Structure 1
């Protein structure tokens, strides 16, 4: 049985939960209480030295980092539709994983963290808001001519980018200015196996 260690307000935990559901995979949810510092406990650090969620356990495999877990699930259980192996299509999907870990993290994700947890996060909210609007503007322009981020179907690129973009309003980011992004969010929500999280 697959186990997923995570927290319900973590967008990175959610993207893995979403992928597991889209693949119709059974798993055990193991809640890690971030507010009580459980992710920094010796027991958890022994499994994930970075002390972050999510963490996936699949038999003898222990794998941290949401983007890495998406790659594993796609290739182990989903196949080419979710993550092709040909050089160019593979690179095109991986680019969106990089954007999720880079621009989306620095923008919508950081803005959400700031407004959920306050100034103790050491996040520059003006910079995060500026970065959020920049990546959302670029995403909106891209989605003018694309139904999904790449190809004619969803991939793990869509799953990786989706949570913190869809949760942008938690970070006081106005999504109404990005109609193509809103339409894409609705398309993701219509996928068979879609599950919501708090705020979505």
Structure 2
């Protein structure tokens, strides 16, 4: 059964500018869960050190440590963390539906978050912010294609699945909201912008740090 509140804070190994980390910070806050944030200095190679690789052999953030179950949990991957937190701490079952079709629709959007969103808007943002080599135009094209589909899916509806927000919305929010930092304008996508505003109006919403938008 889901647990309403943990007795001890969940530890989050975190990087402030990561959208993957932000989606976990956002969901922890939306659930009202206590959290201890542990900054990981990616530039200094902290995620590749043996003590971190013991938590996530892929050497990536975010990672959570939940000391509250009888067997403490260490879990990596932002989408997997969303599923875990919803399953364990969402006592009302609102964030991860159990009805088969709704559950499948949430999974569809989690796949999009790991696919088109990651290779599009998230990649374009990394290339612009951190001056990484790569095909920026290709990433921007993927992002615009996704947002065109997303804009159509949101026509006449408030959230991606059902009548209220789910972890599908949380998974897609961060990199969509910060797509302009990768040179992808959201101006053509009115339904997407309205959806972002609805998420930002949710009780417990926390923003991710804004960075400069490239000319």
Q: Distance in 1 between matches of 2:132 and 2:47?
A: 21
Q: 4+ residue stretches of structure 1 with deviation over 2 A? A: none
Q: Distance in 1 between matches of 2:114 and 2:157?
A: 21
Q: Deviations over 1:41-87 (max 9, x none)?
A: 11101111000000010011000000000000001001421001221
SS at match of 1:4: strand
**2:87 corresponds to:** 75
Correspondent of 2:108 among 82, 95, 108 = 95
**1:38 corresponds to:** 46
State whether structure 2 residue 37 is matched by structure 1 residue 24: no
TM-score of the superposition, structure 1-length normalised? 0.96
Q: Distance in 2 between matches of 1:154 and 1:173?
A: 25
**1:106 corresponds to:** 119
Question: Residue 118 of structure 1: CA displacement?
Answer: 1.4
Question: Residue 9 of structure 1: CA displacement?
Answer: 0.1
**1:13 corresponds to:** 21
Question: Residue 88 of structure 1: CA displacement?
Answer: 1.1
**1:124 corresponds to:** 135
State whether structure 2 residue 209 is matched by structure 1 residue 198: yes
Query: What RMSD over aligned residues (CA atoms) do the two structures have, in Å?
Result: 1.0
TM-score of the superposition, structure 2-length normalised? 0.90
Q: Distance in 1 between matches of 2:28 and 2:120?
A: 26
Report the structure, 1 or 2, having the larger helix content: 1
Correspondent of 2:151 among 124, 140, 146 = 140
Question: Residue 170 of structure 1: CA displacement?
Answer: 0.5
Question: Residue 104 of structure 1: CA displacement?
Answer: 0.4
Question: Residue 141 of structure 1: CA displacement?
Answer: 1.1
SS at match of 1:62: strand
Which blocks of at least 5 consecutive residues in structure 2 are unaligned? 1-8
**1:65 corresponds to:** 77
SS at match of 2:161: coil
SS at match of 1:176: coil
**1:153 corresponds to:** 164
Correspondent of 2:64 among 56, 71, 95 = 56
Aligned residues: 198
Which blocks of at least 5 consecutive residues in structure 1 are unaligned? none
Q: Distance in 1 between matches of 2:119 and 2:10?
A: 30
